[in-house]
Each structure stands twice: as structure tokens, then as C-alpha cells.
Chain A
């Protein structure tokens, strides 16, 4: 009986306090909403929602400062909706389906085709023409059926990281320039310490980016392609066969870090940071994190080794933070104004420096003097290389990577007899997406 009265008290206290809380919350939110609506009415000012995963990746508060400067300049308010990459993707995809996409959205090149086809992102070519914007200063434009739907704001290069301590200890004096050198270097490392892997390829099915960043990048480095006039060209592609067999060689010789099939990018970076992997291909943007995690680590950047005999310009994979405008945006003109602002030389240079990235405006001259020496080194490499990423703008590109990945694993495990068979099968899986 006594405990029952206690219970009653607890329950009633809980009810009262929750009611008060919820009242406070209900009282709080409408008033703030009301405030916004008011300012829209009397000042004719517009507030744009800007959804992206960039805010958390840049030094705290810097993206907000950049947006606040824009508001000062133009009177257009910017509300930042920041989430991690994966969550942004889920939200943008759900928003595309339900029509709740934010006015201006951060885009990844691999999403563009599907959202453009779905009609949920706006045709930027039209908007830029109406506005008379000079698009020749843009480093790239991602198109769908001849029209631009996404503009890269900043670019991230994917060079090769090399752990110099391990290389020195294993007697590897020169950074490998060709695939053959690379295999030899990895073998030397294995001979030195079998617990250290030469290379790592994250092949988790959850996020199949490893195909793009750690497999196809070998093909692109030597100036080769997996496409032919925008259509898949896997079956019978000799250059690609060589790359796949090169990857298989690394696996067969046990030079790849363990756990590849469930490894994601973050696992790979932690392996490298802890000195258990000698080489990895990864975005320069992880530089700060690796330095923070292991300040003693001595590493260097190099380009991805090429096929023997290749003397052309080396390709370097680039990923980007792209920007687009939602079709359901009611203030497209203002939205474009904001996009142009982010891509104007000064602002773009500032963003690139803050994000440890390279600018999307060719006229931008970022000030990397405060950046790490290694970063400057990477920037120089980047400028010498041809940037490439063939997955950008392809239909359902994540799914393409995933089916390539599954076929690759079957070949690596010996379930598929030959590389040509594997590529033929993958070609079959890719083709329906391009119809």
C-alpha cells in the first residue's frame, strides 16, 4: 500500500513536470516560428534552408560565419541544416520523395543522376542563363541530359598515403611509381613484419565506396576508363582486367589488411593511424584527424602508382562537395545568388582552405599558408595530376559500386573462374541502369 502511494506520487509528479515541459516547449517553438514569418512579411527578406554535411567537417562555426557574411551582404537569411554525410543522404533521399528537400542542398556527385531524373533538383543551366552567370570559372559542372544539376564547391583529392617509418624499416627507399614497384614494396614490408599490411581496401557492402576510391582509382591513375561515351565498358576492357588482376594479386599474396570484406573507410584510416598499414589511398581531408590521432606518425603523399610503361599525366581521383537547388524551392533566384556567392573566388578560396580541400572556382587562390606542410605537398601533386571520378553523375552509382564489389569478391574468392567472366557478369548488372 505504501509503495502504491509512492507510485502515485511519482506518476503525478512526472505528469505535471512533463506537462510543464511540453507547454514550455510548445510555447517556445511557435513564437520563434512566428518571428520568422514576421520578418519574411515586412522586410520581404527571404530565408533559405541549406542542408549539407559540410558544417561538421569544417572548423566549428566557420560555415556559419561564411553564411552570415552572405546575409549581411544580401539580406537573405541562411538556415544551416547540418548532418553527417550518411544522414544527409537519407534525409535528402527521403526529402526528394516527399517534397521536403531544403532549398539549397549539398550533393554528392553520385546522387545527381537519380535526383535529377526524379525531378527533385532544379536545372541550374536554366537558372544560370536567366541570371547571366559566367560559368567558365567553374572547375566542373555535373550534368544530366545536357543540363547542369550540381556544381562542385570544393574538391577533395585522393592521393596515396605512405607510412615512411614502415618503409624505412622495411628497406623501401623510394616511393613506388608503378604497380610492380608497389607489389615489391608491399612484399618487402611483409617480409619485415608480417603483422603489417601493405595496403587496405575497404569492401564493406554497407558503403561500397571502396570500389571507387581504392579500386577504380588504379585504373584512372593510368589514364584509363571504365566507360565508353557514357556507357559501361567493363566486359573485354583489357586495362580494367589488369587492374582487377592486380588487386587479386595483392589479395592472393596476403598483402591486404585483414577484414577487408566488412571494412569501411573509417576502419582503414584507424588501421593506418595505428601503423598497421603501410599504404592507403584516402582523401586529403583526413590529414588533420590522422595527425591528431597519432602525432608521431611520419607519412608522405604520393600519386597512385601507374601501369608500367605509362608516361602520360597521372590521374588523381577527386570527390567533391557539390551544391544544388531543390525543385521545390520557392526562391530559386535567391538560392542561385547564394550558390554564386559560395563559388565566388574569395569565398571559395576561404572555404577550400577551411575544409582542407581544393577550390571549385578556377580563379580562387586559397591561402594555405596556415595549412600543414603536407597539405601543401598534396596540393602540388593535385595540380600536376588530371582529376577524375567516373562515378560522378552515373545512375544509381552506389548500386553500381555495390554490384561491382560483389562480383569482385566472388572473383577474389575463386567463385568466378576468370576476370573476363567477372567483368562480363558485372557489365550485365550495370547495363539496366543505363537504359
Chain B
């Protein structure tokens, strides 16, 4: 069957060379049109705004070159935002990864029945099912100084007085990060779980024959086998966490003072509170450049794997 195929194909191919050249673009057309009109055009508009003085408020904005960039990059508030964002992003990613991995390993264990695993799988996936504003509101209610968390902790004598989880400059960033960790780990868990199903049992058997213990097997077999998806997950999560806005804004608004100010809340305040759309666009363009670099690495990494 295969032999016949190869002998027939060249004839067909020749006839269709021209068509074959155009065909892929026809398949791609809807995607390209949609993205070009609705995504690329607005992005170009945002980039353009960043080179003008205050657009929208000013009827006739003036081209100012890189002035906005100098302003943003020398703004101490922006520096604080970058620092907080880095903390928020890296702690979130690492915790997402660790929790997702541990939960996935627990759910993949052969010591448990399928029904039990099924129940826990749903429970562990719960945080994924709520939108950011709902997550923010429910956590605010729980973390209120007179909320249920302080009550539980005080009654179990873990803390002596009511803690101000979101309104203390020392805790706020950590608290917001924890909320983000809660809302984001299921993505890893489910993906890793899926990855684990794909690892061939032969590999584990071979490892067992070599006399490797569970820990050795985990590092020698599981991790290397999962590496491709782990890298994709980390990349995607980096980009998504960098953009996280609703959760931070609706829990702390970037405060107290600037304790939880991130690049996204900085951009929002510039645009919607100071009405400085040019400055907001500049912040956005900087973020876009950073993310594009990440995106290029991501594509390269994807290609290297193929």
C-alpha cells in the first residue's frame, strides 16, 4: 500500500504545485484576517500612542519621540512595580510548579483507587473554575481582619491577634501572591497529570530493575520525560502571570502605599486614574517587548523539540 502511494504521488504533486502553493494560505486566511484586524491593528495603535504626548485628552497630540519611555523608565514608582512584579511572577511560577507537581504525583499514585482519585481530581481543580473578580472578592471576605481565617488561626492558637493580611505592608504582596498561587496551580496539575499518563511504563520497569528507589526514579525518569511540557507550562505561566491585573487590583489596588504595585496596576493607574493614555501605552509597549522576547524563545524551544 505504502509503495503504491509513493509511486503515484509525484504525478499528482506536479499537477497541483500551484494549488499546493496557495492552499496553506487559504487554510490560514480566517486566522490571519481575524488576528490582523482585531489584534495587530490595536497593538500598532498602542505602540503609536507611546510616541505621542498625551493622546485622547489632547485633541492634537504631538510626536515626542522616546520622551515617554524616559519618563516611565526613570519613574521610581515604575521601578517598585518592576520589583514587585518580579517577586509576584517568580514566586507564583515556582509555587504553581511545585504544588501542581506534588498534587499530580499524588493523584497519579498507584496506592489509591480510581474513584478516590476522581473525587480529589475535581476538588483540586476547583480553583480553576472561578473568574478573577470572584476569587478576589471571596478571598477578601476570608482575609478580612474579622474574617474566618483569622478566627480559625486564633482558635487553634497559631496567632495571638488578628492579622491584617491584605493591609499590612509586610504581608500584602505575599498574601496576593498566595491567592494567585491558589488560582493558578490547577493548570499545572492537570497538564502534568496528563504528561504522566504519557510516560511509558517500560521506563519505570527498567528503572526498577536497576534498583533505583522512588526518588531516583522521579529525577531520572519522570522529570526528564516531562521536561518538554514543563518548559511550555513555565513559559505560558510567565506570560500570563506577568499580565495578572484583576486579582491584584480587586484585593489591594496596588497598595498599601505601593506594596503590591505591579506593572499592570501601574499601567491601569496611568490610563484610568491619571488619564495619561500615552504613559499607559508606553508601559504596555515595554511589557509587549519583554513578552515578545519570551515568545521568540518559546517558538525556538518549540521548534527545537520538533
Contact = CB atoms under 8 A, between A and B. Distances in A.
Interface stretch (A201-209, A237-245, A290-298, A377-385): A201-209
Contacts of B269: 399, 402
Interface in B154-205: 162, 164, 166-169, 172
A75 B254 CA distance: 48
A204 B253 contact: yes
Contacts of A204: 167, 252-253, 255
Contacts of A192: none
Return the 4 tightest CB-CB contacts between A and B, nearest first.
A206-B253, A205-B255, A261-B256, A261-B167
B84 to A, nearest CB: 13
Interface residues of B, number: 30
Contact of A259 (B144, B250, B258, B277): B144
Interface stretch (A26-34, A306-314, A338-346, A405-413): A405-413
A116 to B, nearest CB: 11
Contact of A410 (B146, B166, B254, B257): B257
B56 A206 contact: no
Contacts of A399: 269, 273-274
Given A261-B164, A262-B166, A262-B172, A207 B273 contact: no
A114 B57 contact: yes
Prevailing SS type, chain B contact patch: loop
A261 B249 CA distance: 14
A206 B255 contact: yes
B50 to A, nearest CB: 16
B144 to A, nearest CB: 7
A118 interface: yes
Contacts, number: 84
Contact of A260 (B59, B167, B250): B167
A276 B144 CA distance: 13
Given A114-B57, A119-B59, A406-B258, A263 B249 contact: no
A258 B154 CA distance: 16
B146 A276 contact: yes
Given A114-B275, A118-B56, A409-B257, 12 more contacts: A93-B272, A119-B59, A203-B256, A205-B254, A205-B255, A205-B257, A206-B253, A258-B164, A258-B167, A259-B144, A396-B275, A410-B257
Contacts of A405: 255
Most buried by A among B168, B249, B255, B258: B255
A97 interface: yes
A206 B59 CA distance: 29
A405 B166 CA distance: 16
A409 B57 contact: no
A262 B273 contact: no
A267 interface: yes
A90 B257 contact: no
A207 B257 contact: no
A258 B163 CA distance: 9
Contact of B252 (A206, A257, A396): A206
A402 B273 contact: yes
B92 interface: no
Interface string A189-223: 00000000000000111110000000000000000
A409 B273 CA distance: 19
Contacts of A119: 59
Nearest to A206: B253
B255 A259 contact: no
Interface in B90-149: 140, 144-146
